[in-house]
Amino acid sequence: MTGLEQKKSEWKAVLRDLEAGRVRSATRKNGKWKANAGVKEAILAAFRDGVMMEYGEFVDKHNLLPQHFTLDRKVRLVPGGTSVRSGSYVAPGVIIMPPSYVNVGAFVDADTMIDSHVLVGSCAQIGKRVHLSAGVQIGGVLEPVNQSPVIVEDDAFIGAGAVLVEGVQVSRSAVIAPGVMLSQGVPVYDCVHERKLERGEPIPERAVVVTGSRPVSDRLAWANNSGFQLQCALIIKYRDEKSDASLELEDALR
């Protein structure tokens, strides 16, 4: 086998293992998430080796086509324009409402709800029993290969129209309210514990996060004097029994 054939064989094996859930583009060890650079490099190699081809109304890389679902996969994929790309994993019990898109390298764990108009970006890691409400955008992080992707842990609830990008991490059972935007540049203030989260620090477990605003920096006097505000996110409470009850999904929907 030539060197070129060996590399092609490697990315093919990685894509198969990703789809089967045997490998992941990021893993959690000792409580911290870390990108799997080797997996991401294999995905990039697949893009480089892919050949643009026509498939009906679509044009894409020949080796990264949408997956085909059958009953034995136990995934409910509702008709209407959804696409799950090769090299992503969707576990049994997942529901995907149309139209939605799950990109290469993503991992969506069991019993998660992906509502309509949702993007699960490349290499994003979505836990068990997560609810991604309508219009949620989970950004992809394929490059640089060592950068951790967006992480949403088990039992989290992401409200309609929320945007999570730049490797943001949401810990288990946290609630992100509708319309909240989280990135490395958006500061998060914990109003319960009266502190500002460090840059890159995960949203804490069971935190309830809403959109807020804060004054512009004192260095920009004109902006401050004009009353301008910058966006931020506020943790206003932590989940309790009342919060849990309001977020329960009807079993009939499944």
* Cα 230 to Cα 218: distance, rounded to the nearest angstrom: 12
* Cα 254 to Cα 252: distance, rounded to the nearest angstrom: 5
pTM for the full predicted model: 0.91
Whether 114 is in a domain gets the answer yes
Whether 131 is in a domain gets the answer yes
Domain CATH code at residue 97: 2.160.10.10
Whether 205 is in a domain gets the answer no
Task: From first to last of the 254 residues of the chain, give the pLDDT tens digit.
Answer: 444 455 667 899 999 999 999 999 999 988 899 999 999 999 999 999 999 999 888 899 999 999 999 999 999 999 999 999 999 999 999 999 999 999 999 999 999 999 999 999 999 999 999 999 999 999 999 998 999 999 999 999 999 999 999 999 999 999 999 999 999 999 999 999 999 999 999 999 999 999 999 988 777 888 878 888 899 999 999 998 776 776 765 555 55
4 membership: H or E segment, kind and range:
helix 3-20
Whether 88 is in a domain gets the answer yes
Whether 238 is in a domain gets the answer no
Name the residue range of residue 85's domain: 3-185
Identify whether the C-beta of residue 43 lies closer than 8 Å to the C-beta of residue 113: no
Identify whether the C-beta of residue 59 lies closer than 8 Å to the C-beta of residue 53: yes
